[in-house]
Amino acid sequence: MKQSRNFWWPRLAGLLLASLCFAMPAGSETVAPVIDEEVQDLKAEVLNLNRELFLLEEELLFPANTQIAVFVSMDVGEFFALDSVQVKLDGKDVSNYLYTEREVTALHRGGVHKIFLGNVKTGDHELVAIFTGEGPHGRDYKRGATVNFNKAIGAKFVELQITDRELKQQPEFFVREWE
């Protein structure tokens, strides 16, 4: 649904621009700057409308009362090179994400990635995250982290945190609820 809306607005703007260009009579050099300004205003208006539609769509699809958002963050990363994260909510796969080198670099710099946004009913739930990558000494590494949480009315935010444990020279994986 989001793709179709995002697809139509730029197309509509392009059609309007094309029709304005072909509708200009010959010898209208003095009218061209005025039309260019109107076209730019129209483009800005279309972009603002598109932004508002996106926000309305997100609000309708994911109301705050039932919303859950899951984020991935990473600290240092000397003992673990992240490849992918799989998220299961109440035993169902809700997200699988394969990270690029640039995305992992952004996570190392303090970035946070929203891996899942969805709806859940109020009550008890289980979230399982499975991290895949390269661990110490270049070996394949697959670890999981689990959290049981109670969803109350209002949005719920969960962070999947990957940190280095210096003493054991191993990565650690935490699931943390934001209050």
Predicted pLDDT at 2: 45
φ, ψ of residue 151 in degrees (nearest 5): -90, 115
- 74 and 135: one domain? yes
- 77 and 144: one domain? yes
Element (H, E) at 92: strand 92-98
Of the candidates 71, 84, 69, 75, the one whose C-alpha atom is nearest the C-alpha of residue 131 is: 84
Predicted pLDDT at 7: 55
Higher-confidence residue: 159 or 65?
Answer: 159
| pLDDT at 171 exceeding the cut of 70 | yes
- 98 and 171: one domain? yes
Q: What is the band of 24 on the pLDDT scale with cuts at 50, 70, 90? A: low
Q: Residue 97 belongs to what domain range?
A: 67-178
- 97 and 167: one domain? yes
Q: What is the pLDDT of residues 68-110, one digit of tens each?
A: 999 999 987 678 889 999 999 999 999 999 999 999 999 988 9
For the chain, give the mean pLDDT: 82
- 16 and 102: one domain? no
- 93 and 173: one domain? yes
Residues 6+ apart with CB under 8 A from 147: 126, 127, 158, 175, 176, 177
| pLDDT at 9 exceeding the cut of 60 | no
Predicted pLDDT at 85: 95
